[in-house]
Structure 1
């Protein structure tokens, strides 16, 4: 078998990979998307099965009002003492000098839960991970954030002992292990003990084209005792601009039962408009930061290096002791909404799907109109990741608005600043329902059809909406019978839904594009929309 990268396509950033017995697990960041932390399992590193998210209660995670790309940053999954340990941050500030965050710890005996109520750890920095030493002691290793304008904000990697009996940190033990290399922005630490030495893996360079992973080691956990690897950077694509994989860095190391080594890292796959250089701009990553796996070997002097060079490979040999994992091929999805709860591919923003948002089951997803797609508090949006550059997604919607503030439809969404949708609303000038297409590009909102909005005949109960995404552009279509489709005449630039576009004007650019279903009622009269027969189909 071969590992074909990325192994987790579409918005699966900051992987924390571990092995328990013959099974591998990956935890990924989810930021403002609910449920918190994305989990997968595999026994071959090739095929990955989605598991229920561990953070499914608001007592574990309260993100209402969080800024886009706040929320859950860089979860760390580990296993010790017969249970899983999960450390995660809830980040409340994204832009500016401050990164207000709280780090939490939850545990479970089974990866599918139930997961405990959270233990509050600290707030000195994000990207915290829990290291279980072979003498039974435990340490929280984390990036430390310095808000003072006369210091570099990335203030090194600190280590604090954790008392597993009292379930609390011992702040008096805190010390700085390493300040990183001259690339700066050192973050995402994971600590390992191999052959009696401590190896510290850290991300640097920011999670953009200059991103990289570096390694340092020490015989102790004393302050500033770590020396950098002479083979750094461990992984990067800064000097491989034509590689299909870019931005590799932040991730985790794992060994196999037979003694092989692998490294899971975030990565991204940019595309370019036909008239653009392949190096400047380096491209647009509409699928966000994904998860790739590279094979690792050790040098004679005891340092880890990526097999094939630090730029990584698209195709990697699977572990020789891999046990084939049976999962569906591809990511195409059809949902008739017959189950009484949302499937694992669906996400909501900041809060769980509940009665305030709507209901699901008996063949329909019913959404109660709330705030606009710019709202950080009350929003009825159910969405799934883009996981391919080319796909079609469609849905049937029944909606009877009576004013223009009531809207329901199909959206392509990056965050509260950058999104578009095709939707049914009311046109008071014509006294009928219409289909409109609109885009929000930061603070520039555009209604494309205006007087040319498509009237919905009075005798039509159901409107079908479809989006066709074709890498660099995408369009919307409608149908009144689900068979004959008519284009809405608007072609949109997909780069507006990319990390790289958002990064030009906003510091929170860490997620990826979603396609979803939304209902809005700004008039506050709770207009409801009934969605059915959703289909997401990737193209060959």
Structure 2
């Protein structure tokens, strides 16, 4: 037996879809507007996970430019047909509207870390697609969306058989199940003579859960279990909240486990907030005398420590590559035209482009924050000549919520903001900025030496963040403690599905030519 500790994949890793092939377990997670698209992890013992690659080329044209915050790739579903891996997913281009404007695609590969086929479009009833393989046949499950006024945006689960080669529908689409509580994220498996439909229930927030329905016939009708398989919505004191979106997997010895998303909220005066986003967890499952899956430890609440029927295997390899994982970028993969690790040995050179609220071309490299205490630091060398140029260290959630400490230009001390001072003058400063929905505030300005690199840092402790810089070995805090809790799934009025990141960025709003060099970026969590 192996004792695992949840979450097993920590920090922004939601909607886990798990499959076992041989001795390996593989998990695909949502990437939304971030690249690399559809991160993949693997493990032999369910406790120790390593990055195994991603579905490269999942986005036609390799660009999500213009996709809104928390749009992009939702809930990929990973499966194995005995010969190759399949991943099916939706690209969501409208968030918070009746029209999700989804495009559903599928890619295949013989190895998770190998080359994936170019995406092929499939019927797009709604988001959260999944595939079911049986006896050489292929079916597509989907959430059905009814966008009409008065319609139900979560109008049930549908099933369509597809031709395995052309991916064209064969026959009619079947409505499997509708429910008065929101259901989505369908996964299908056969066990004990039943088809079991594993569903995400109640939305992705604190009401989330996993519900199971079953039928003797693939196309239904399906009956719902009278209680959830797993949820934390009935007890806000449970450390693992938002426990939903699950998938059942059988071990080689015939035992069962459940992958699911979860979150570790902080208690704040404004209520619970999940700055780390939604993460991946695993539970042990048994089947009761009536043929329903149940949590092995009893009840429906997720456990932090779980014994799973595997042999411990803590071997984990760290990915290598100057701009590879764990780096992530917004809406496109890193490109040497704006992120160049070769321009100066030992440094990363960023060329400034759009501002941080752009949905198109923000020069940002970031890494996931995985614990409630973290520290990021980096040395930056740049010579901004105008207030339209900036480069520095950023804590990022999305274009509406971020905190940044940037090396930039400002007017001489005591002089107001009058636009560019075209005839020279001015100062090189560190500008501390916080962005919240509809509001951007400069929290502090500190003058620094324009001719020397500067070490920037930030420390997060629970819901607070303090930025600082070092000069001549002395650490100096910049401005007050800022509200890191704003960089969470639960802040604001809009839908939020990702997680907080720490990274580096550069901006040049006029010439798109200003460059900044960064060295020694290091993120420590825990």
> Shorter-chain TM-score category?
over 0.9
The C-alpha deviation readout for 1:160-207, integer Å capped at 9, x for no partner, is 00111223333x321101113x3x221000000112210000111111
8 Å CA contact retained: 2:351, 2:512? no
CA distance in 2, matches of 1:510, 1:340: 28
8 Å CA contact retained: 1:289, 1:512? yes
CA distance in 2, matches of 1:57, 1:194: 32
Name the counterpart of 2:396.
413
1:97-496 correspondence to structure 2 within 5 Å: 97-133=98-134, 135-170=135-170, 172-180=171-179, 182=180, 184-222=181-219, 224-230=220-226, 232-273=227-268, 275=269, 281=271, 283-308=272-297, 309-319=299-309, 321-327=310-316, 341-361=322-342, 362-430=345-413, 431-449=426-444, 453-458=445-450, 460-481=451-472, 483-496=473-486
Report the CA distance between 1:341 and its aligned residue.
Answer: 3.9
CA distance in 1, matches of 2:100, 2:353: 29
The C-alpha deviation readout for 1:99-147, integer Å capped at 9, x for no partner, is 00100000001111200001100221010000001x2211001111111
Report the CA distance between 1:311 and its aligned residue.
Answer: 0.7
Mark the runs of 5 or more structure 1 residues left unpaired by the alignment: 334-338
Mark the runs of 5 or more structure 2 residues left unpaired by the alignment: 414-425
Name the counterpart of 2:416.
none
The C-alpha deviation readout for 1:345-399, integer Å capped at 9, x for no partner, is 0100010101332211421111110111100001100000110100111000001
The C-alpha deviation readout for 1:440-469, integer Å capped at 9, x for no partner, is 1011000112xxx221224x4201100000
Structure 1 residues 385, 81: closer, same or farther in 2, change over 3 A? same
8 Å CA contact retained: 2:396, 2:502? yes
User: Secondary structure of the equivalent of 1:499?
Assistant: coil
TM-score, structure 1 length as denominator?
Answer: 0.92
8 Å CA contact retained: 1:128, 1:141? yes
User: Secondary structure of the equivalent of 1:511?
Assistant: coil
1:62 equivalenced with 2:63 (yes/no):
yes
User: Secondary structure of the equivalent of 2:333?
Assistant: coil
User: Secondary structure of the equivalent of 2:166?
Assistant: coil
CA distance in 1, matches of 2:71, 2:305: 33
Structure 1 residues 94, 57: closer, same or farther in 2, change over 3 A? closer
8 Å CA contact retained: 2:62, 2:333? no
Report the CA distance between 1:513 and its aligned residue.
Answer: 0.4
User: Secondary structure of the equivalent of 1:495?
Assistant: helix
8 Å CA contact retained: 1:45, 1:322? no
Name the counterpart of 1:517.
504
Residue among 528, 532, 538 paired with 2:515: 528
Report the CA distance between 1:340 and its aligned residue.
Answer: 6.4
8 Å CA contact retained: 1:423, 1:435? yes
The C-alpha deviation readout for 1:50-93, integer Å capped at 9, x for no partner, is 12211346536531110010000000000114111010111000
User: Secondary structure of the equivalent of 2:485?
Assistant: helix
CA RMSD of aligned residues (A): 1.6
The C-alpha deviation readout for 1:388-422, integer Å capped at 9, x for no partner, is 10011100000100001101000001001010100
The C-alpha deviation readout for 1:501-525, integer Å capped at 9, x for no partner, is 03xx112x00010001000111224
Name the counterpart of 1:336.
none
User: Secondary structure of the equivalent of 1:250?
Assistant: strand
User: Secondary structure of the equivalent of 2:115?
Assistant: coil
CA distance in 2, matches of 1:57, 1:259: 33
CA distance in 2, matches of 1:22, 1:98: 41
Structure 1 residues 91, 57: closer, same or farther in 2, change over 3 A? closer
CA distance in 2, matches of 1:60, 1:157: 30
CA distance in 2, matches of 1:62, 1:530: 25
CA distance in 2, matches of 1:5, 1:31: 23
8 Å CA contact retained: 2:28, 2:41? yes
CA distance in 2, matches of 1:535, 1:340: 15
Report the CA distance between 1:241 and its aligned residue.
Answer: 1.0
User: Secondary structure of the equivalent of 2:505?
Assistant: strand
Point out 4+ residue stretches in structure 1 off by more than 4 angstroms: none
1:506 equivalenced with 2:494 (yes/no):
yes
CA distance in 1, matches of 2:169, 2:121: 9
Aligned residues: 510
CA distance in 1, matches of 2:169, 2:404: 47
Report the CA distance between 1:480 and its aligned residue.
Answer: 2.6
Report the CA distance between 1:247 and its aligned residue.
Answer: 0.7
TM-score, structure 2 length as denominator?
Answer: 0.94
CA distance in 1, matches of 2:376, 2:512: 29
8 Å CA contact retained: 2:384, 2:408? yes
CA distance in 1, matches of 2:230, 2:300: 4
Report the CA distance between 1:258 and its aligned residue.
Answer: 0.7
